[in-house]
Amino acid sequence: MSGWIASLAMLLSFLVSLSIFFSFLLHSPQDRILSIFLFDWIPFGSLKINVGFMIDPVSSIMTLIVTGVGFMIHLYSIAYMREDISIVRYFVYLNLFSFSMLLLVLADNFLLMFVGWEAVGLCSYLLIGFWYEKPSAIEAGKKAFIVNRVGDFCFLIALFQILTIFGTFDFSDISRSASELFMKDSFNVNLLCLFLFFGAAGKSAQFPLHVWLPDAMEGPSPVSALIHAATMVTAGIYLLVRNHVLFSLAPSTLMFIALVGSFTLLFAASIALVQNDIKKVLAYSTLSQLGYMFLACGIGAYATAMFHLMTHAFFKALLFLGAGSVIHAMNGEQDIRKMGGIRSYIPKTSFTFIIGSLAISGIFPLAGFFSKDAILFSAFKSHSLAILFWFAGLFGVLMTSYYTFRLVLKVFYGDKNFKENETHVHESPPIMIFPLFVLAFFSIVGGWVSIPMISGGDVFGKFLSSVLNPTVSVDSHHNLTLELVLMFLSLGIALLGIFLAYQTCCKKRQFFSDSSVVGMRLFSLLENKYYIDEIYSLILVRPLRFIANLFFKLFEQNIIDASVNGTGRLVKSLGANLRSLQDGYVKTYAVSILFGAVCIIFLLVFNFSSRF
Amino acid sequence: MVPLENYLFLSSILFVLGLIGVIVRRSVIVVILCIELMMNGANLAFVSYGHFLNSMDGQLIVFFVMAVAAAEAAIGLAIVVMIYRNRESTDLDEVNLLKF
């Protein structure tokens, strides 16, 4: 029941978003903005902070993703969480998340956005730790929350900088006056953008703040689909796109963002190659795809970043929901080594999962192909150093298709690595299958809104063009041959990745022999995620624990506890001594009353009489 | 005309006698009687002041005190009965449970 109410709320929000979107399509590009002022929130001297919403094409796309994909995931959750006793709590958190995410994307100023920003972080924490009986889930929730704090702290510093420089938090005011207040590539604007980027990197799990996202997979699968793939982790991209005017004034920071993005995409994809938990593979894949988006932002292709954000929301939500369906079918088993050959048992899930995998690998003509290719093309065409980014992206494509199809082949094909009579593999109920098919549909057609080759094919980019002036001029007419060559190149590389996956998983061919030392080292390095968690534990967690322990023993125990306990002991001993006065004999009390009365009379007679 | 001092002297003698009785005697009944004695000492002071100050207030208060004393005597004797029933004695030194 709770699930249906929550889903209905999402459906209504989706319909409203849809109606706004279509009304935008009817208007001319200049009129595609909608501002709603609600009330003064903090009027303080010259500083006025409103609670108000602003919808422009960028936030319109975001609301469509949040409510549309969100509705599908709500629907899926009804069946997925049916047997959980805390289903009401689950849907409350999920709806709270949707509310916060909408607040984040609709806010017309930084502070209101920050409220949404923190609230989605809170919901993420609550949902990761949803199964709080599991110690690992609690740990993962805490880790996500604390790592996010680092990013949020940087965001907060950026907010203070904005307040001192601009004196306002309003997005449109800031965008308008940014070019007057800042010299291009000056230190101030770079510093501001750097802190904004660190905030974005925390929420969008970019290196080195990526450590929380793989652990966040402790939450229920639909949560991973909604929060840790489709919507919340893209908030960082949204932040960058929303403030693209600021960022375009800071080319050095953009360079840094592109570097971090391309590093993260390679780094995460390489880890995903060897992971054995179905959800961990998808988590690292999400990191890698977010890296693509940051890369796109870094080279100034904001519309392309938004485009990839949208297609990624479709196919990654699909993959996570599919993984949830697989886990459901396997009675909670997440290890792909214990699956295999379950395609015939769950034909619908595997069909949609394979569509999602083809889409993420960038196979023509699915959504991922167009969006990833647009990023690669922008990287190829931007500045001179960008050829490195292009290579990184291309290598990322190879790894993406390899790890995705390694997953597909190990789960759905090959030998059965489980006991058939113990695990009754079963297809999920229709209410879980329906969202899979809807998302699969969009994973196929989602890319067709922006086909750069055809002139006028970039409908998506044009829709956003009133907000985002394309800094990378995509004049596709001149470079049609070049673009086609690049497309076939990336398509070929994606197919190569699938081929390699087929060779290793089905033909059992080994590219690194296990006996070679380098191969072993590399394998264990990847399997242990480059030991990042261990390094953090060594340089951050343990010193902090040590200091905390020191203070606990020195200060807490010896000073605070001692004074509190000392007060208690003093009162106790006083009471023990004084209580002997009350011996229970009426006469003792009578004598003490007499004594008191005599004292009062004495005072009255000898002291007060002299005064009056 | 007997001077006021004599009345007050008698009244304080009565009061102090009652007080000593309350403190030193063990029997509950005697203690209650001594409390009555203390009250009567106070009453005497009231009426004599009232008489000498030509005021009815003192006598008025005495009526109140007598009414209260009657009630108090009734309750006090009831308590004595209960103590006796429970303990087979009316010795105050044995009634010391109300402590600590």
Instruction: Tell me the pLDDT band of A471, cut-offs 50, 70 and 90.
Output: very low
Which pLDDT tens digit goes with each residue over A69-110?
999 999 999 988 888 888 899 999 999 999 999 999 999 889
Cα–Cα dist A257/A298, whole Å: 5
Q: Do A594 and B19 touch (CB under 8 A)?
A: yes
Q: Chain A partners of B93 at a C-beta cutoff of 8 Å? A: 585
Cα–Cα dist B31/A344, whole Å: 101
Q: Do B96 and A594 touch (CB under 8 A)?
A: no
Cα–Cα dist A205/A353, whole Å: 24
Q: Chain A partners of B22 at a C-beta cutoff of 8 Å? A: 587, 590
Cα–Cα dist A295/A305, whole Å: 8
Q: Do B92 and A583 touch (CB under 8 A)?
A: no
Q: Do B100 and A584 touch (CB under 8 A)?
A: yes
Chain B residues 32-91 within an 8 A CB cutoff of chain A: none
Q: What is the value of pTM for the model shown?
A: 0.78
Q: Is the pLDDT of residue A536 over 80?
A: yes
Measured distance between the N- and C-terminal CA atoms of chain B, rounded to whole angstroms: 54
Q: What would the mean pLDDT of A578-597 be, rounded to a whole number?
A: 85
Nearest to B99 among A582, A587, A591 (CB): A582
Cα–Cα dist A50/A431, whole Å: 41
Q: Chain B partners of A583 at a C-beta cutoff of 8 Å? A: 96, 99
Which pLDDT tens digit goes with each residue over A338-385?
887 788 888 888 899 999 999 998 888 888 888 888 888 888 877 667
Q: Chain A partners of B96 at a C-beta cutoff of 8 Å? A: 583-585
Classify the C-alpha dihedral B60-B61-B67-B70 as positive or negative. Answer: negative
**B42-81: string of b/e by CB count within 10 Å (b at 16+)?**
bbbbbebbbeeeeeeebeebbeebeeebeeeeeebeeebe
Q: Do A584 and B31 touch (CB under 8 A)?
A: no
Which pLDDT tens digit goes with each residue over A293-322?
999 888 888 888 888 999 999 999 999 999
Q: Do A582 and B92 touch (CB under 8 A)?
A: no
Separation in Å, CA A239 to CA A42, A230, A247, A293, A377: 22, 15, 10, 12, 23
Nearest to B97 among A584, A587, A594 (CB): A584
**B5-30: string of b/e by CB count within 10 Å (b at 16+)?**
eebbeebeebbeebbebbeebeebee
Q: Do A579 and B22 touch (CB under 8 A)?
A: no
Instruction: Tell me the pLDDT band of A452, cut-offs 50, 70 and 90.
Output: low
Q: Which of A252-256, A406-410, A450-454 has the lowest mean pLDDT?
A: A450-454
Q: Which of A118-132, A580-594, B61-75 has the lowest mean pLDDT?
A: A580-594
Q: What would the mean pLDDT of B51-71 be, rounded to a whole number?
A: 91
Q: Do A590 and B98 touch (CB under 8 A)?
A: no
**Quick one: closest CA in A to B26, which residue?**
A587
A73, A86 in Cβ contact below 8 A?
A: no
pLDDT of residue A422: 67
Which pLDDT tens digit goes with each residue over A473-485?
444 445 677 777 8
Q: What would the mean pLDDT of A20-49 be, rounded to a whole number?
A: 84
Q: Chain B partners of A594 at a C-beta cutoff of 8 Å? A: 19, 23
Nearest to B100 among A579, A590, A591 (CB): A579
pLDDT of residue A318: 92
Confirm or reject contact between B1 and chain A (CB < 8 A).
Answer: no
Residue carrying the six token digits 């292009």: A390
Question: What is this model's ipTM?
Answer: 0.82
Q: How far is CA A69 from the centre of its chain?
A: 15
Which pLDDT tens digit goes with each residue over A212-270?
888 888 888 899 888 888 888 899 999 999 888 888 888 888 889 988 998 998 989 98
Q: Do B92 and A585 touch (CB under 8 A)?
A: yes
